[in-house]
């Protein structure tokens, strides 16, 4: 039973195992599952082993039992719609405010992200009622909102879910924030960065291991044998270089800020530097990139085991990267193309990654991204990407 459901889960990338599927069958045959609501909770708890996949599960469930379109078809369309809506908003805030049933002043208070969220919620309400919800943005004439003032924001917990059918609950997609494509929060960044810490024994054997001492002493029939161990130390050094200049990085400031804050809290030995677009002769210790320059050549003196994490969108005019006088700042022109400096840095620190806040499917539209990817292994600044980057960094 439900073989298709199982395979759809597998196809969309939820790691499900045959064993767990058999367990589900066992639950079914024992008569533990008597309704679709039961099936929803039970199959999720048995099949899905991480909250990151709950959102995908919800979507597949809704697809399977209600025929809701799967994410692949939906995602792009909505994104395109959102973009057009945002443009519309910039052109004519008043009209849009009317459409959304909001005061214009209220609308202007929202950040674009909040607006998108608000909008998506409306869109979802709309889809539920008559399956072609996307229409009303295009024509713009129909009144979209039946019941306004519906609970905005916040993640719902199950406590209130008693009166809703499983499909409705699944449609709400309340685990969206946990999914691997979801936004990076401090907690998720922290979780990922924690893998970077590696405690290894180092230094002289100067700590008494009491347990083995007792064990060995007793083994010797009471002849005292003291066992010493080395202390544990986190020896990982991290250099974090952040592109904090220019409008192209502006949308990503919050997420980079979070990464930066968390890195500072997590690692004892983390050095942060700043650059704009790409690196020429200097990196800067101050975010204003003005007072405390550091010559890139200095890196030869730093422990090559240091992990280098570059963060930037890697998007610029090709000449900035390739030309020997590429810098857009007159005073930092050095006669050497930036790409050589990047190669030098990558060679100085064999453990390196480049985190790019731009989604990976957009990378091949920008030439410089491809060029930099030849030098640094590039990962998306999302939970999945971050985890990939970390496992790349800790690899020997």
Partner 1 sequence: MNRREENKEFKGATQYVLDDELAKIVNISMALEMPLLLKGEPGTGKTMLAHSIAENLKMPLIVLNVKSSMKLVEALYQYDTLTRLNDSRFGDSKRDVSNIEEYIKMGKIGQAFTSDTRTVLLIDEIDKADTDFQDDMLDVLDQMEFDIIEIDKTIRAKNRPVFIITSNAKKNLSDPFLGRCNFHHIAFPDPKMMRKIIDVHFPDIDSMLTDNAIETFYRLRELDRVEKKPATRELINWIRALGADPDFKPKKLAKGEVPFLGVLFKKSEDYGLAMQSVNRRRMF
Q: Does 222 help bind partner 1 (rule: CB under 8 A)?
A: yes
The DSSP line for 283-298 is: EESSTTSSS-EEEGGG
Q: What is the smallest separation between the CB atom of 387 and partner 1, expressed in angstroms?
A: 9
Residue reference for tokens 């889809």: 127
Query: 3-class SS at 379?
Result: strand
Q: For partner 1, give the closer residue by CB, 92 or 220.
A: 220
Query: Do 183 and 177 touch, CB atoms closer than 8 A?
Result: yes
Secondary structure element (H or E) that encloses residue 266, with its range: helix 253-266
User: How far apart are the C-alpha atoms of 24 and 19, rounded to whole Å?
Assistant: 9
Span of 79-87, 121-129, 159-167, 314-322 interacting with partner 1 by CB under 8 A:
159-167
In the list 1, 3, 4, 19, the residue contacting partner 1 (rule: CB under 8 A) is 19
User: How far apart are the C-alpha atoms of 81 and 98, rounded to whole Å?
Assistant: 18
User: How far apart are the C-alpha atoms of 262 and 348, rounded to whole Å?
Assistant: 25
Query: Do 170 and 9 touch, CB atoms closer than 8 A?
Result: no
In the list 49, 83, 292, 364, the residue contacting partner 1 (rule: CB under 8 A) is 49
Q: Can you say whether the dihedral through the CA atoms of 141, 147, 149, 153 is positive or negative?
A: negative
Q: Does 261 help bind partner 1 (rule: CB under 8 A)?
A: yes
Q: Say what the alpha-carbon torsion angle 386, 69, 3, 33 is, to the nearest 10 degrees.
A: 90
In the list 141, 149, 157, 247, the residue contacting partner 1 (rule: CB under 8 A) is 157
Q: Does 108 help bind partner 1 (rule: CB under 8 A)?
A: no
Residue 71 makes CB contacts below 8 A (sequence gap 6+) with: 12, 56, 59
In the list 21, 89, 119, 175, the residue contacting partner 1 (rule: CB under 8 A) is 175
Q: What is the smallest separation between the CB atom of 97 and partner 1, expressed in angstroms?
A: 25
Q: For partner 1, give the closer residue by CB, 103 or 261.
A: 261
Q: Does 48 help bind partner 1 (rule: CB under 8 A)?
A: yes
Q: For partner 1, give the closer residue by CB, 169 or 358.
A: 169
Q: What is the footprint of partner 1 within residues 264-323 (CB under 8 A)?
A: 265
Q: Does 156 help bind partner 1 (rule: CB under 8 A)?
A: yes
Query: Do 280 and 316 touch, CB atoms closer than 8 A?
Result: no
Q: What is the smallest separation between the CB atom of 173 and partner 1, expressed in angstroms?
A: 13
Q: Does 27 help bind partner 1 (rule: CB under 8 A)?
A: yes
Q: Does 162 help bind partner 1 (rule: CB under 8 A)?
A: yes
Site of interaction with partner 1 (CB under 8 A): 15, 17, 19-20, 23, 26-27, 30, 32-33, 38, 41-42, 45-46, 48-51, 54, 154-162, 174-175, 178, 186-187, 191, 194-195, 214-215, 218, 222, 261, 265
């Amino acid at each position: 039973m439900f073989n298709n459901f199982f395979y759809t889960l597998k196809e969309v990338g939820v790691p499900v195992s045959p064993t767990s599927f058999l367990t589900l069958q066992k639950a079914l045959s024992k008569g533990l599952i008597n309704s679709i609501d039961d099936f929803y909770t039970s199959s999720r708890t048995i099949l899905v082993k991480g909250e990151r996949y709950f959102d995908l599960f919800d979507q597949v469930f809704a697809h399977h039992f209600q025929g809701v379109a799967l994410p692949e078809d939906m995602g792009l369309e909505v994104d395109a719609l959102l973009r057009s809506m945002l443009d519309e908003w910039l052109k004519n805030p008043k009209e849009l405010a009317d459409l959304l049933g909001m005061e214009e002043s209220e609308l202007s208070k929202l950040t674009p992200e909040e607006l998108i969220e608000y909008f998506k919620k409306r869109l979802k309400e709309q889809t539920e009622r008559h399956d072609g919800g996307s229409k009303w943005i295009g024509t713009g004439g129909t009144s979209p909102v039946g019941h306004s003032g519906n609970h905005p924001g916040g993640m719902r917990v199950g406590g209130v879910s008693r009166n809703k059918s499983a499909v409705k609950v699944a449609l709400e997609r309340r685990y969206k924030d946990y999914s691997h494509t979801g936004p990076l929060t401090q907690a998720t960044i922290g979780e990922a960065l924690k893998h970077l810490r590696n405690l290894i024994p180092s230094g002289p054997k100067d700590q008494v291991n009491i347990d083995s001492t007792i064990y060995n002493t007793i083994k010797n029939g009471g002849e005292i044998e003291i066992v010493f161990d080395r202390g544990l130390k986190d020896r990982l050094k991290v250099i974090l270089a952040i592109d904090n200049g220019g409008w192209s990085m502006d949308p990503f400031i919050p997420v980079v800020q979070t990464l930066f804050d968390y890195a500072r809290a997590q690692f004892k030995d983390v050095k942060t530097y700043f650059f704009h677009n790409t690196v020429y002769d200097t990196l800067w210790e101050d975010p204003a990139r003005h007072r405390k320059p550091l010559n890139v050549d200095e890196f030869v003196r730093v422990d090559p085991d240091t992990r280098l994490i570059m963060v930037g969108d890697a998007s610029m005019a090709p000449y900035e990267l390739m030309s020997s006088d590429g810098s857009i700042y007159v005073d930092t022109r050095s006669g050497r193309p930036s790409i050589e400096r990047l190669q030098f840095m990558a060679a100085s620190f064999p453990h390196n990654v480049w985190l790019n806040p731009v989604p990976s499917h957009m990378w091949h539209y920008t030439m410089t991204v491809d060029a930099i990817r030849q030098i640094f292994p590039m990962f998306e600044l999302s939970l999945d990407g971050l985890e990939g980057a970390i496992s790349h960094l800790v690899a020997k």
